[in-house]
Structure formats: structure tokens, C-alpha cells
């Protein structure tokens, strides 16, 4: 049986309120240490429903979510953003699993992408690519930190799934300040776009 993957911290006041209602405090406490360079408020909630076999899977393996991802890609192509689909696949994969830790569906990466698509249907194509990049760089998921002891997950280097696979038990913290910062994400996105575009040209010329 898969054990709980992580905990998010809950304010003490909420824990006391839960105990007063007879629910008792969340337990067990995790072994997480907040990195010293993270100054954010620390929530804490025991994520007992978050298990190894469902959290850090590859890109949206749930059939319903997989259908929505496919539909989103078709609509991006219709919006003349097909060149960014490989980049978005990588972004969704790097952040896969974070959605289970977020309170609002509209904040998860796929939800943000779907909202962007619906809004773009009523807009002119001018600056559409720039709006896409801005949306991706400001995803609330960038505010989620994962740690394994003293090691800090960098989503620009690897997926949360791979970080967990390499380190075992990992813990999450939520920050009001994203890290990486939007400017770093934007630079990374453009580099990814260039790399995937160059690869597609190489594949096309060799076929």
C-alpha cells in the first residue's frame, strides 16, 4: 500500500479549531524542514489522500484529464499556437502532481490553460503568443516548493515525479513568492521552444 507522499502545513489556529470539533490535530507531522531561504508563511495539512501511486504520475494519466489535455492541444492548434504544444507538454509534466495539493481547480496548470484558451477565442491573434508565455510564467504551481531533506526541487531542471523518484519521501511548502521567478520561467520557456522547434525541423528533414 502506498504511503502518504507529503504534508502541507496548516496554521495552528486551524488545527486547534479541528481539535475542538473532535477531529483531532492532523498527524503524523512530517519530517519536512523549511529551507532557510524560503520566507513564506508555512501552511500545514497532512495530505493523507495523496499517495505515491497517484500523485507523481506522468502527464495526466487519469482518463478524464487526459481527454481534456488532448482537447486543449487541439484548440491550441486552432489558435495557431501549435509550435508551443511541445513546450506546454513539458510544463504540465514538470508540474504534474501539484494539482493534488492546490485548493482551487482554477489554479492548477491544466485549469489555467483551459481558461486561457477560452479567453483567447474572443481575442485577436495579436500578441497571443506573448499572452501565453505570460500565463505560463505566472502559474500558481510555481509557488509550490518541494524538499527532500536539504535538497530543493527545481521544476526547471526536472519533474516533481523524477525528484521524488530520486529522493524518496518529499515535502511541499507553499510560498506567496514564486521560485523560479516569472522572468526565469519566461527565459526557460523560450529556450524550450527554440529547442523543440529545432528538433522538429531536424525530424522533418530526416523523414
Residue 183 lies in a domain: yes
pLDDT per residue as tens digits for the range 77-134: 999 999 999 999 999 999 988 888 888 888 999 999 999 999 999 999 999 999 999 9
| pLDDT score at 64 | 56
Residue 37 lies in a domain: yes
Across 9-18, 72-81, 140-149, which has the greatest mean pLDDT?
Answer: 72-81
Q: Which domain holds residue 41?
A: 7-206
pLDDT per residue as tens digits for the range 152-201: 999 999 998 899 889 988 888 888 888 899 999 999 999 999 998 888 77
Q: What number of other Cβ atoms are within 10 A of residue 192's Cβ? A: 17
Cα distances from 141 to residues 81, 99, 103, in angstroms, run: 22, 8, 11
Residue 2 lies in a domain: no
Which range among 57-61, 80-84, 135-139 shows the weakest confidence by mean pLDDT? Answer: 57-61
Residue 57 lies in a domain: yes
Q: Which residue has the higher pLDDT, 31 or 135?
A: 135
pLDDT per residue as tens digits for the range 7-38: 343 333 443 344 444 444 333 334 455 554 44
> Could you tell me if 172 and 144 are in contact, meaning their C-beta atoms sit under 8 angstroms apart?
yes
Residue 161 lies in a domain: yes
pLDDT over 50 (residue 72): yes
Whole-number Å distance between alpha carbons of 122 and 202: 35
Residue with cell 520557456: 189
Residue 78 lies in a domain: yes
**Mean pLDDT for the chain overall:** 75
Residue 1 lies in a domain: no
| pLDDT score at 28 | 34
Residue 54 lies in a domain: yes
The order of strands in the sheet holding 144-148 is 151-152, 144-148, 171-174
The total of structural domains in the chain comes to 1
pTM for the full predicted model: 0.71
Please provide the DSSP assignment of the chain as one string: -PPB--EEE--HHHHHHHHHTTS----SPP-----TT--S---EEE-TT-BHHHHS-STT-SHHHHHHHHHHHHHHHHTT-GGGHHHHHHHHHHHTTGGGG-S-GGGSHHHHHHHHHHHHTTS-STTHHHHHHHHHHT-GGGGEEEEETTEE--TTTS-HHHHHHHHSS-EEEE-SS-SS-HHHHHHHHHHHHHHHHHHHHHHHHH-
Amino acid at each position: 500500500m502506498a504511503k502518504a507522499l507529503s504534508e502541507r502545513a496548516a496554521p495552528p489556529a486551524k488545527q486547534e479549531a479541528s481539535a475542538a470539533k473532535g477531529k483531532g490535530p492532523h498527524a503524523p507531522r512530517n519530517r519536512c524542514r523549511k529551507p532557510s531561504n524560503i520566507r513564506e508563511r508555512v501552511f500545514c495539512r497532512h495530505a493523507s489522500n495523496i499517495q505515491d501511486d497517484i500523485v507523481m504520475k506522468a502527464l495526466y494519466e487519469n482518463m478524464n484529464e487526459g481527454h481534456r489535455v488532448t482537447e486543449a492541444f487541439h484548440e491550441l492548434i486552432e489558435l495557431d499556437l501549435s509550435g508551443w504544444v511541445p513546450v506546454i507538454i513539458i510544463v504540465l509534466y514538470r508540474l504534474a502532481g501539484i494539482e493534488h495539493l492546490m485548493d482551487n481547480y482554477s489554479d492548477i496548470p491544466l485549469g489555467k490553460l483551459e481558461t486561457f484558451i477560452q479567453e483567447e477565442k474572443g481575442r485577436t491573434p495579436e500578441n497571443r503568443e506573448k499572452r501565453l508565455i505570460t500565463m505560463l510564467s505566472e502559474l500558481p504551481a510555481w509557488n509550490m516548493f518541494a524538499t527532500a531533506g536539504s535538497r530543493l526541487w527545481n521544476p526547471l531542471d526536472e519533474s516533481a515525479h523524477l525528484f521524488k523518484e530520486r529522493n524518496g519521501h518529499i515535502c511541499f511548502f507553499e510560498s506567496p513568492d514564486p521560485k523560479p521567478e516569472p522572468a526565469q520561467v519566461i527565459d526557460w520557456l523560450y529556450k524550450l521552444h527554440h529547442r523543440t522547434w529545432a528538433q522538429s525541423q531536424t525530424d522533418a528533414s530526416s523523414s
